[in-house]
Each structure stands twice: as structure tokens, then as C-alpha cells.
Structure 1
Amino acid sequence: MSPTEGEPGIKASIRFLRNDNLYDTVKTYNLEFRSDEIPNSNAVPDRIDNVLVKNIRGHEQEFTFDQNGFAVLEMQTSLSYDDFADNSKIQHVYCQEVAACLLKYTGAATVQVFDVQIRRRHPDFPFPEVNFDITNQPALQAHIDASPEAVTGLIRSLNEPEKADQLIKGRFIYLNVWKPLKGPVREWPLAVCDASSVDPSDLRKHDTVFDPSTARENLMVHFNANQRWHYLSEQLPSELWVFRQWDSSGKPGVPHVSFELPRQANDPPGEPRESIEVRALLFFD
């Protein structure tokens, strides 16, 4: 059960990348496609129990994007729940609403939205083993969406060479905007880690391989007892998690992951979690 406002948090089980000397010389990866030639992944997860995840409900304003790497923003969308089944409305209405919200909050000069993901939890989630037939499920392992080098490459892939060169010379931020489609969220909420509590040695470069010729480099996370994890109890669709993945000024990204809320016998069943996340680049003059 989610703690109410004023309670310190809960003890949760969270999956991290296992601490193994192997990863000093071997880069971790996972495949997003079936292969009969190589294993699906060499990234061994390590389930850590009793991780304190503090509830920021009632204290949202104490956390800022600049200092902690994340913030909770209020934004009412003009789309209804059913509208989120229409990709055109998502792209031309919701993404524009998010972009305007980000510009107002951050003071950036421009914003470039480049990816949208909707996740609808399958009734059988979490699966005991890899299931390639069911995609876009809540993330089960702590991670950061992109390495610094991958962000620079992303800017180059999204823009003409001359423009990309100019953008990379200035300050830029890669961030994620996450919200539920239904609320309040009472199962598998998102947990975020205060960026200032992450040691660089906690992070490992990792390749997500989409097909034999396409990979994206992100960062997997080892557990460290000094990390400070947070979540927002009973999050509503009007409440946005906005969290940094990389800042060219050197500020680190925010590890994040979904986690299973402990339940009491008399708790009403929660609706399967449905969420939408928007990935965007902010550029500053």
C-alpha cells in the first residue's frame, strides 16, 4: 500500500545490474529481437530488497530539476483518455503541450521532441522470462536512457550537419517526461533516483540492440546504499515526472525504474498501469 502524505516511504525490491568484474572488460547488452546465435543478454540483474523509496507526496516543491535532476509539474492536457489511442493527436496536440510546458519551466530557447512511448501493463507482467511478443511494458531494471556520447549522436541524427554542429556547441539537455494515462497510480509506479546521490562508478555503458545493425547506448545502474530513491504516491494524470537524462554542462542523468508496491490483504486491486513518456532535447542560447 502506498504511504500517505507525511510517511517516510516504503521498502521496495528493485533490480540493478549485478556488480561483476566481468563488466570492467565486457560491455553489457540486450537484444530486442530473437537470435539463435547469441544469448539475449549478458547483463545479469541483481534484485536488491528493502531499498528505501521515499514518498515525495506533499513535498513535491522541495525537489527541483536543476538540483535533484527531477521535478513534478502540473499540466492539464486537452486530450481525453481515448485520444491517446490516436497517434496523430499524441504527436500534434500532446507533444506540443509538453513542449510548451518544458519551455516555460526551464527557460530553454527551443525544444525538440523526438520519441513517444505508451506502456500498458500486460495482466501477466512481470514475465518470468523474456517475451518478445509483448512489448512496451514497465521498465524492470534501473537505468538511464542514454549515455552522454549517445545524446550527441542523437542530436546529429535528428538535425542537418551544420545545424547539429551549432546545437552541440551550446548547452543542451536530454530529458524524459512521464505521466500515467489513468490515475491515481496504485501499482508499478515510477521510482527516480536523486542525481546528486549517484556515484559515476554506479553506471555502466550498455547497448540495447534493436536489430543486427542498430543499437542505442544507455547506462545501466549498480546498487549503491548512498543512492536516494523517490516516488510520488497515487500519481494523477495531471502530474508529470520530468527527469534529466544528460546535461551538456556535466550534470548527470537520473536513474529510474518501475517497482511493485507492497500490498495488504484488504487493498483493492489497482488497475493495470498505463503511462506515456515523451523524450525531448532542450537547447539553450
Structure 2
Amino acid sequence: MDGVWGTVNYLAPGSVRNRLYVAPGDQRATARYEPHRVFIADGRAHRDDLTLDAAGFTLVNHRTAVRVLDNPAVLDGGYTGESLTLVRALTGADHVVSLGWIMRRTTADRGGALPPAPDVHVDLHSTEIAHRYAGVHARGPLPAPGTYRRAAWTSLWRAFSPPPQDWPLALCDYRSTDDAEDGTPNLLFRVPALPDPGEPDAPDEAAESAASLFHANPAHRWWYFPGMHQGEALLIKLHDTDHTVAWRAPHTSFRDTAAAGASPRESVELRTVAYFR
């Protein structure tokens, strides 16, 4: 099978102070990680098998009508609108709400964008956390509790730098995970400036949300889609209240040392919550 060997960062055993501080244009993690070399298979020849409800992610061809993706006003307007339509079509949901977007860049001058996330994670830790996150970030009305049978949180990821990128996304096939891998909570704090590493931690109740971090597991099967371009989008499950299907997909960025002439990664991820009646 075609693919590359890459290094992914799993949570180190015994890491208990797991927090992520996010400030404009930068972030700092307090968790301890262990690098592991893993084989990351090329998923392009296996797209029919890598579906949202089986693997927890899917790659689709989707040409955006938006030409410049690094303009916040454009991302808030036309790009969000066409993305909600795409997520609704891919999931079959009755109602989809934007939870906002995040730009990421690997360049030193990121212009307010965040760096790629270099750890194996899922952005939401539990159903309770997912609903709390939606309540904070919803860019539209949320349905009343009891009016829907299922909710699914996703991230629509798109590269807008020329392929190949230096830090592409690696995705762990849900079928190679175990639901007993509950994931260790990583508390998220949004702050105006990154705290000094020696400062006391913020209290737990001040956390906006919590992601899940994962320990190394040799059963994990990793995939990536080399050479992603602006005419493609990757939809990733962050949480799904229906656990009869793939309800999450651990993922991380990794440095692709095999990509000759790789360009600095520039990407946008739009998070949504989809509701099913």
C-alpha cells in the first residue's frame, strides 16, 4: 500500500496537566507528548471505503465559489454559506449550524492564524462538552432540546496553499480505535495573551471546552490524502450522539518529509453541528 512514514505525537503516560491555551495567532499546550513513527497510508485509492459513518471522515470534490479564503469577511459570508450546504448534503441532516472557522498556517508570520495542531486529538471530548461548545459558538439558532434525535459535530477542512503542503492532516480510521479509549480531556482556554509557563493554571471551570487526547495504540490505522488542493474538502467527525456509526476520528498534523518542494500549509476548518429529526 502506498503511503509515508511520519511522526505523530501521542499523549505521554502520566501526563495529567493537560491544557491548551489559545491566544490570537498562537497557542500553548501543557500536556506532555511522546513522538511515535507510524505508517500513514495514501487514502486516495481507498476513498470508497473511507466514508463518514465508517471511517469517521471522507474526502469530497467540492470547488468553492470563493477565490480568496484568507479574508475573514469572505469566510463569514459566502464560504460559510456554501459549506453549510455541503455538510447538509453529505450528512443528510435536517439542520446545520456554523460554529465558526479557524485558519492555520505554518509560516512564521501567521497573520493571526493558528499553527497546525501537532497532537493526536479529537476536538470535542463528550456530548456534554459538544453541546456546551455549540452554545458558545453557534452562528445561528440552535433547535430546542427534544426536537431532534441525533446531533453530529464535524469539521470541514480545506487547504488553500498550493499542493503539496509541508504539514498535511493525518486521520485515524475509527474502525481501528476502541471506544474504551475514552480519550483524556484537554481543557481549552481562550486568553488575550499566552500565560507564562510558571503562572498558576486557570481554574477548571473557566475552560471553554475540552478536547480528547490519545495514548499510543499500535492498532491505530492512519490515512492521509496527499496533494490536497482548494477544489477538495475533508469532512471529519468530531462527535456524534449516534454511536452505532463512526462517531469520532482522531487526527493530527504531521510533517511530510517525503513531499518534495512542499509549500507552507495554509488551511481553514469550519466547524458545524448537524441535527437530525
Tell me the TM-score normalised to structure 1 length: 0.81
Name the residue aligned to 2:117.
139
Relative to structure 1, the CA distance from residue 239 to residue 219 in structure 2 (aligned partners, 3 Å threshold; closer, same or farther) is: same
Deviation sequence 1:143-191 (CA, Å, 0-9, x none): 1001122112224444999944235x52000001101012322421100
Deviation sequence 1:29-54 (CA, Å, 0-9, x none): 23336xxxxxx6541111112x0110
| Offset of residue 74 of structure 1 | 1.0
Deviation sequence 1:169-220 (CA, Å, 0-9, x none): 5200000110101232242110011112112326211102224434321101
Higher helix content, 1 or 2:
1
Q: Matches of 1:62 and 1:42 in 2, distance apart?
A: 36
Name the residue aligned to 1:217.
210
Tell whether the 8 Å contact from 1:202 to 1:224 is kept in structure 2 after alignment: no
Relative to structure 1, the CA distance from residue 154 to residue 166 in structure 2 (aligned partners, 3 Å threshold; closer, same or farther) is: farther
What RMSD, in angstroms, separates the aligned Cα atoms of the two structures?
A: 2.6
| Offset of residue 108 of structure 1 | 0.6
Tell whether the 8 Å contact from 2:100 to 2:139 is kept in structure 1 after alignment: no
Q: Matches of 2:258 and 2:3 in 1, distance apart?
A: 14
Q: SS in structure 2 opposite 1:196?
A: helix
Q: SS in structure 1 opposite 2:45?
A: coil
Relative to structure 1, the CA distance from residue 115 to residue 134 in structure 2 (aligned partners, 3 Å threshold; closer, same or farther) is: closer
| Equivalent runs, 1:65-76 vs 2, <5 Å | 65-76=52-63
How many percent identity over aligned positions? Answer: 23
The unaligned stretches of length 5 or more in structure 1 are: 1-6, 34-39, 126-132
| Equivalent runs, 1:146-185 vs 2, <5 Å | 146-148=124-126, 149-157=128-136, 158=138, 163-166=143-146, 170-185=149-164
| Offset of residue 236 of structure 1 | 1.5
| Offset of residue 114 of structure 1 | 1.2
Please, which of 6, 10, 18 is the counterpart of residue 28 of structure 1?
18
Tell whether the 8 Å contact from 2:172 to 2:220 is kept in structure 1 after alignment: yes
| Equivalent runs, 1:168-247 vs 2, <5 Å | 170-199=149-178, 200-201=180-181, 203-211=183-191, 212=202, 213-247=206-240
Please, which of 59, 62, 83 is the counterpart of residue 98 of structure 1?
83
Q: Matches of 1:220 and 1:228 in 2, distance apart?
A: 16
Q: Matches of 1:182 and 1:44 in 2, distance apart?
A: 30
| Equivalent runs, 1:8-157 vs 2, <5 Å | 8-20=2-14, 26=16, 28-32=18-22, 41-49=29-37, 51-80=38-67, 83-123=68-108, 136-148=114-126, 149-157=128-136
Q: Report the structure number with the largest CA radius of gyration.
A: 1
Relative to structure 1, the CA distance from residue 164 to residue 218 in structure 2 (aligned partners, 3 Å threshold; closer, same or farther) is: farther
Relative to structure 1, the CA distance from residue 271 to residue 75 in structure 2 (aligned partners, 3 Å threshold; closer, same or farther) is: same
| Offset of residue 134 of structure 1 | 7.0
Q: Which amino acid aligns with 1:262?
A: T
Tell whether the 8 Å contact from 2:98 to 2:140 is kept in structure 1 after alignment: no
Does 56-65 or 149-158 show the bigger shift? 149-158
Name the residue aligned to 1:277.
269
Relative to structure 1, the CA distance from residue 8 to residue 202 in structure 2 (aligned partners, 3 Å threshold; closer, same or farther) is: farther
Tell whether the 8 Å contact from 1:175 to 1:242 is kept in structure 2 after alignment: yes
